[in-house]
Structure 1
Amino acid sequence: MNVDRAIDAYLRHISIERGLSGHTVAAYHRDLAGYAAWLADRGIDDPATVTDEVVGAFVADRAGAEPRPAATSLARLQSSVRGLHRFLAREGVAADDPTRRLRPPKTPQRLPKALTIDQVEALLDAAGPAPGAAVDTDLLRLRDRALLELLYATGGRVSEIVALDVDDLAHGEVLRVRGKGDKERIVPVGSYARAAIDAYLSRARPELSRRGHATPRLFLGARGAPLSRQSAWLIIQQAAERAGLTAHVSPHTLRHSFATHLLQGGADVRVVQELLGHASVATTQIYTHVSVDTLRDVYASSHPRAR
C-alpha cells in the first residue's frame, strides 16, 4: 500500500467507522495531502518505511515554515499524521507507529468570548421586525429573530441549526439536533425562542416557502431555498451592527454565551456538556473559568477577612 492509498483508507475509516463530520474529514484530508507531498519530495512512497526521524523532520519543517503556523494548526496537523500512522499500525500495514514519541505543541488556552445578558438581549431585539418595515424586510426579520433566539436558546452550532427540519421541533418545546458524527441529542427550547419560531412559522415561512421548491428545512432564504451557514453568519453580523455591538459577534459567540450563562446560573457542567453535545466534559470545562471581577466579588463577599 502506497502513501496515497493509505491516506484514502484512513479517511474512509474516520468518516464511515468513526463517524467524524465532513468538515473534520476535509481538514484531515488537507493536512495529509501536504504530508504525502512532503514524503513524495523525499522519495518516500511506502508508509511502512516512515520512521520517527522522518516524522520529526516533517513536523520541524512545518513548524519553521513562513508564515509561521499557529500552534493550533500545528497541533491539528500532528493529530492528522498521528492518527494515520496509528491506524496503519493497528491494521498491520506498518510494523510500528513512528509517531508514538511525538508530543503535540502546547496551545494557548483562550477563554471563549461571551456576551453579557444585556448584550444578547440587544442583539436579539436588533434581529426582530422593525416598526414600519417593508413587508419583505418584515418577513426576513421574523426569520432572523427566530434563528438567533434558537441559537442562543439551545447553544446549537450554526451548522446544526441551519440543517434543522420543521419536524425536528417536537411539539415546539424540545429540539432534535443532529451533531458531529451524526449523533442526535434532545435540547429544550425556552419560551422566548418558541414564541419567535411560532411567529416565523405562521407569518413568514409560508411566504418564503412559496418562492422556492418544497423543502422540509426550517430556515429559508429570501428565495425559498434552505438558509446557508454563510447567510446565518451575515444575519448575525448585521444584527450586531444594528445593536451597536463593537465586539466581534459570530454564531459561536451565541453558543459560548449560552454555556457561560447557564453555568453562571448554577447549571451542572455535565448538563451543559449534554446540551452542547460535547463528547468529553473536558471540552465543556473551559466555560467554567470565571472572570477576575467575579473572583474578586465572590472573595469580597465570602471571605471573613476580605474587607
Structure 2
Amino acid sequence: MRPLKIQERELSWRTTPQIAELLDSIRTGCDNPHVEPVVLICLATGARWSEAEKLKPTSVRNGVITFSGTKSGKVRSVPISAELEKRLAKHWKQHGSFMHTITSFRRALARTTIRLPKGQAAHALRHTFASHFIQNGGNILTLQKILGHSSLAMTMRYAHLAPDHLQDAIRFGPVLLVVTAVTKEACPV
C-alpha cells in the first residue's frame, strides 16, 4: 500500500517593508505591550509563537535565547543581538512575563495590508526568519539547527529561496570541467 501524499501548504513569509508595516501597526495601535517583543523574538530566532510567548527572563542570557518545551521536546539555543537582549530585560522588568498576545497580534496584523493564508498569521514570522536567513546566504544545515527541525527534508523547503541555489548544478557538476578542458584544447591562447 502506498502512503498518502498530502499537498504541502505554501510557506508565507514577509518582505522587509511588510515587517516594518507590521511593527508600525503594533507600535501605534496595540494595547498589549507584550506583542512587539514576542514578534521580535520570532523574527530574530525563527521561534514558534508559543515558544516565544513562554519565555522567561532566565531563558535569555549572554546573547542567547534558550527554548525549552519545544514542539520536538528538544532544548535549543539561538544567539540574539545585544540590543534585543537589553530590550527584553527592560520589557520584563517593566511589564512582567508575556501573556495573552496572539489576539492582539492578529488585530495588529488585520490593520495592515498584509494578507496571509488562513492559519498562518503568527507562523509566518517563523517562515519570514527562515526565508530571509536563506536569501541572505545562510547555510541550510545551520537553519535546521536554529529551527530545531529533526530532518533536513523539513528545512529544505526553504532552499528554493537561496539566490543562486540551482547555480550549484553548474559550478559543481562535471560538465563545466570537461567543457572548459575541451575549449582550452580546441582554442589555445
TM class by shorter-chain length? 0.7 to 0.9
What SS does structure 1 have at the residue aligned with 2:76?
Answer: strand
Q: Does 1:144 align with 2:43?
A: no
Corresponding position of 1:47: none
Q: Is the 8 A contact 1:233 1:250 kept in 2?
A: no
What TM-score, normalized to structure 2?
A: 0.74
Corresponding position of 1:113: 12
- Gapped regions of structure 1 (runs ≥ 5): 1-101, 206-217, 220-226, 299-307
Query: Which of residues 139, 143, 153 is equivalent to 1:282?
Result: 153
**Shift of residue 192, structure 1, vs aligned partner:** 5.4
* Distance in 2 of aligned mates of 1:159 and 1:123: 19
Q: Does 1:240 align with 2:109?
A: yes
Query: Which of residues 110, 133, 136 is equivalent to 1:265?
Result: 136
* Distance in 2 of aligned mates of 1:188 and 1:114: 21
What residue identity is the alignment partner of 2:89?
D
Which has the bigger relative contact order, CA under 8 A and spacing at least 6?
2
* Distance in 2 of aligned mates of 1:192 and 1:252: 24
Query: Which of residues 95, 103, 118 is equivalent to 2:2?
Result: 103
Q: Does 1:188 align with 2:79?
A: yes
Q: Once the two structures are superposed, what CA deviation does each residue of 1:197-231 show, in whole Å capped at 9, x if it has no partner?
A: 234123322xxxxxxxxxxxx31xxxxxxx2xxx4
What TM-score, normalized to structure 1?
A: 0.48
Q: Is the 8 A contact 2:61 2:85 kept in 1?
A: no
Q: What percent of counterpart residues are identical?
A: 27
What residue identity is the alignment partner of 1:274?
K
* Distance in 2 of aligned mates of 1:192 and 1:145: 14
Query: Which of residues 252, 273, 276 is equivalent to 2:123?
Result: 252
* Distance in 1 of aligned mates of 2:35 and 2:9: 29
Q: Is the 8 A contact 1:158 1:232 kept in 2?
A: no
Aligned length: 162
What SS does structure 1 have at the residue aligned with 2:10?
Answer: coil
- Seen in structure 2, the aligned counterparts of structure 1 residues 181 and 110 have a Cα distance that, compared at 3 Å, is closer
Corresponding position of 1:44: none
What residue identity is the alignment partner of 1:153?
A
Q: Once the two structures are superposed, what CA deviation does each residue of 1:107-136 show, in whole Å capped at 9, x if it has no partner?
A: 223331111121112212322266xx9xxx
- Seen in structure 2, the aligned counterparts of structure 1 residues 244 and 111 have a Cα distance that, compared at 3 Å, is closer
Query: Which of residues 92, 95, 100 is equivalent to 1:201?
Result: 92
What residue identity is the alignment partner of 1:270?
L
What residue identity is the alignment partner of 2:67?
V
* Distance in 2 of aligned mates of 1:103 and 1:147: 42
What residue identity is the alignment partner of 2:14?
L
Equivalences for residues 66-215 of structure 1 within 5 A? 102-128=1-27, 137=31, 140-141=32-33, 143-171=34-62, 173-178=63-68, 179-191=70-82, 193-205=84-96
* Distance in 1 of aligned mates of 2:161 and 2:94: 41
* Distance in 2 of aligned mates of 1:287 and 1:281: 11
- Gapped regions of structure 2 (runs ≥ 5): 168-189
